[in-house]
Amino acid sequence: MRIRSAGWMAGRLTALAVLVGLLSLLSYVSGAHIALRYLDPPLGAWWQSNEFWIMEGAASALGMLIAIRIGARLVEPALRNRIQGGSIIAAAIALAWVAPVCAALARIGWNAGGQRVESGIVGLAGYGTGLLIDKLLIAGVYFLKTAGFAFFAGLVLFGLVLAASFASVRAGEPAAGA
């Protein structure tokens, strides 16, 4: 069996975070949970009560994964796989704490000029379509802001794993690649 690198895993997890985030964002905006409630009422109820949290979690995971992938490019190749793998594990553990904090930070300054934007969109696209576009815009900006704050958390986690890796080198031994 071939073992994949941490970079391959980070790429797949990033794509998964984008897919899950977009799916939950579009479901939240369009009210797609109603169709799911007709097909499978318990699953639809669960999805409706959790889709926003799933969107926040996916945005936070996306931000941290992007930071880890960028950080890994700054580390020499001999250490890259170990540091990136450790950072992904640390991010998975920290996600339960990072997601609510980043989501709360993303809500700061949320309604500044919101009525003017909504009125302009409704005036251009009509009432029904305008409200849907406005809701999509709000949710999209919220997703990006949450991912942006999580990006900084991912950089911190990457730095902590990198520092722990350097600290774990025994005294007198040269670091890998030195």
List, for residues 125-159, the tens digit of each pLDDT value.
666 676 677 777 778 888 999 999 999 999 999 99
Q: Which domain covers residue 130, as residue numbers? A: 6-167
- Tokens coding 71: 């950080």
- Residue 174 in any domain: the answer is no
Q: What is the pLDDT of residue 139?
A: 82
Q: Is residue 5 scored above 90 in pLDDT?
A: no
- Alpha-carbon distances of 78 from 7, 66, 75, 83, 120, rounded to whole Å: 13, 20, 8, 10, 54
- Residue 100 in any domain: the answer is yes
Q: Is residue 2 scored above 70 in pLDDT?
A: no
Q: What is the pLDDT of residue 29?
A: 84
- Residue 47 in any domain: the answer is yes
Contact at 8 Å (CB) between 108 and 145? no
Q: What is the pLDDT of residue 30?
A: 83
- Residue 172 in any domain: the answer is no
- Residue 149 in any domain: the answer is yes
Amino acid at 176: A
The number of domains in the chain is 1
